[in-house]
Structure 1
Amino acid sequence: MADQANTAPKRKARKAHEATVTGRRQLSPDLVRLSLNSPDFVGQELEFTDHYIKLLFVPEGADYAWPFDAAQVREEQPRDKQPITRTYTIFNLNSETGDFEADFVTHGDSGLAGPWGRDVEVGAKIGFFGPGGKWEPEASYDHFVFAGDESAAPAISAGLARLPEGATATAYIEIESEDRTFEIPTGEGIDIQWVYRNGATHGTELSRIVRGAGVPEGKKTSWFVHGVAEMIKEMRRFLFVESEIPREDVSISGYWRIGMTEDQWQSSKQEFNAEIEAEEERLSTR
């Protein structure tokens, strides 16, 4: 048995890429847009609108810095000194130059990537894994409903910019308050609905507004719903149990969870999803 364990195939090492910060813009009091460039994106045509990368942050106290060999670091460093990943949607990719953009939500000095995005200087370099992604607006739908908080806004923006010809869309975007709005694609057939928390728990106002609007009638509709996990639970019940929306018409997942770091959320996400799927099954068979 020991020989079998020693010869078990190792997980394939992911290749880390490098991005350079080339610019920054303050979109709202707590939202920063960074312009970046990666030579590894030159020639890449990204087919989806929810493409993301995982930025690599070096833990405090570690004895290495970017650039580094991610596989080597994984083998040589203890778990608490291995790179910390934070996931960000990328958009406006120019495949000829490798330029792209990413938005960072900032909440003072809390968190890891938010303060970095707020303070990083032009010219700084950072490693990343990716890109990943799996959704885009398909031409077989007449209408699209987008719903999410600030974390989902970049993917919503990218989806709105790539709507099929003749399609319409409604986008519900939850932000803290009226003075936190930011630029987002608009145009004929696009209805932007800003949802203000005004101190309420993340996701509660968004769930209430989307539920109140109901399901569009007479249109083949695709749903893109992403953001805080607590909102996702409510929206899954609304879509799959109460409204009986076909699952193939819905892209829905939690990008984050209240009170958890990304690492904690990712390690518990599968269990969270299994629990709500079991509850949906129970409610559907009543």
Structure 2
Amino acid sequence: MHTTTVPTTRAETPTERPARKPKRQAVLEVQAKRRISPHLLRITLGGELYSALNRNHHTDAYVKLLIADPAAGLHPPYDLDALREESPELMPVRRTYTVRHWNDQDQSLEIDVVLHGDNEGAASRWADAAQPGDLIALMGAGGGYLPQSESAAHLLIGDHAALPAIAASLESMDPAAQGLALIHLDHEEDRIELTRPAGVELHWVIGPREQLLETVAALDLAEVEGLQVFCHAERGLTKQLRRVLVKDAGIPREQISISAYWALGRVEDEFQAEKREPVGAIDD
């Protein structure tokens, strides 16, 4: 058998790889929390390390919360590399949330957490139990969408998880903006008042999530020039929505901000890992 030896550069030698630069953590304090609707809890986080966040002006700006098991006895900030090597079972879980409001003057931000009836999720449990004075480590912020004033019209599509980003987007629009926002909710009582331009219609789609797909498929999208689209929902649904928007309606891909915010039957760690696999792709 012929064996070929592939040269290895110094940078590729495992023992000589540069140390990975740790991502900066901002440890903030829970300042307040209040129910926005039966299943939506708004939490205000603030403190001097607010400036450590990558404050940006995207209306879908998001941060990652590092949530440790209370039984682990850990206190933020966390040495993630040491935990990963020495005690991986104690690693805090990461949960991604849209920044609903930034308050630079008070050095605080607000996030909206969807509460499930059984509070199975780590973030739901943390949010439900959080009290003023509690500390939480955050990383970020990321983001990539902002309504453009030169757009001829806007189409915003999402579910409860995307509601904070859609709400922030509507608030940021030019008063003369035109368009439509379609938001799916499981429960009628979770409808809330949203500030928006007079020319942007708001429709709530209540019930099975498939109704959101049916509603989008029934839209008249014959005129797509200058249309800016924001579409974020559950992964399987988002794949189907992409087909309707891109393949059926012919909206140019560069005019659409689209990705899955979550996946049915997956916790976020699994969901994020699958983004790198075929099952996690939303593009055909």
TM-score calculated relative to the size of structure 2: 0.88
- Equivalent residue number for residue 44 of structure 2: 35
Please give the secondary structure, in 2, of the residue aligned with 1:114. helix
Quote the offset at 1:91 in angstroms. Answer: 2.5
Tell me which moved more, 228-237 or 33-42.
Answer: 33-42
Partner SS for 1:14: coil
SS of residue matched to 1:270: coil
Per-residue CA deviations over 1:201-238 (Å, capped at 9, x if unaligned) read xx311111111123263762100000110110111111
Identical residues among aligned pairs (%): 31
For 2:170, the equivalent position in structure 1 comes to: 160
The residue matched to 2:156 in structure 1 has which SS?
Answer: strand
- Runs (5+) with no aligned partner, structure 2: 1-7
User: Which residue is equivalent to 1:268?
Assistant: 274
Q: In the TM superposition, what whole-angstrom CA distance separates every residue of 1:91-137 from its partner, at most 9, and x where no partner exists?
A: 22112221211001011221110122122112211001111111111
C-alpha displacement at 1:2, in angstroms?
Answer: 11
Which whole-Å CA distance do the structure 1 matches of 2:166 and 2:239 have between them?
19
Query: What residue number does 1:13 align with?
Result: 22
Q: In structure 1, how many angstroms separate the alpha carbons of the residues matched to 2:282 and 2:196?
A: 34
Relative to structure 1, the CA distance from residue 274 to residue 74 in structure 2 (aligned partners, 3 Å threshold; closer, same or farther) is closer
Q: Give the structure 2 partner of residue 173 of structure 1.
A: 183
The 8 Å contact of residues 98 and 165 in structure 2, kept in 1 or not, is answered as yes
CA distance in 2, matches of 1:218, 1:145: 10
Moved more, 178-187 or 123-132: 178-187
Equivalent residue pairs, number: 273
Alpha-carbon distance change, 232 to 218 in structure 1, aligned in 2, over 3 angstroms: closer
Are residue 119 (structure 1) and residue 129 (structure 2) matched?
Answer: yes
AA partner of residue 156 (structure 1): I
Partner of 2:104: 95
Distance 1:219 1:34, change over 3 A: same
Distance 1:183 1:114, change over 3 A: farther
CA RMSD of aligned residues (A): 2.2
Aligned twin of 1:62: 72
Name the CA distance, whole Å, in 1 between partners of 2:280 and 2:132: 43
Q: Aligned AA for 2:68?
A: V
Conserved? CA contact 1:142–1:168, under 8 Å: yes
Separation in structure 2 between the aligned mates of residue 38 and residue 227 of structure 1, nearest angstrom = 31
Unaligned runs of 5+ residues in structure 1 are: 281-286
Task: Give the alignment's TM-score, normalised by structure 1.
Answer: 0.88
Q: Is the 8 A contact 2:177 2:197 kept in 1?
A: no
Moved more, 55-64 or 204-213: 55-64
8 Å CA contact 1:142–1:166 kept in 2: the answer is no
2:151 aligned partner: 141
- Which of the pair has more CA radius of gyration? 2
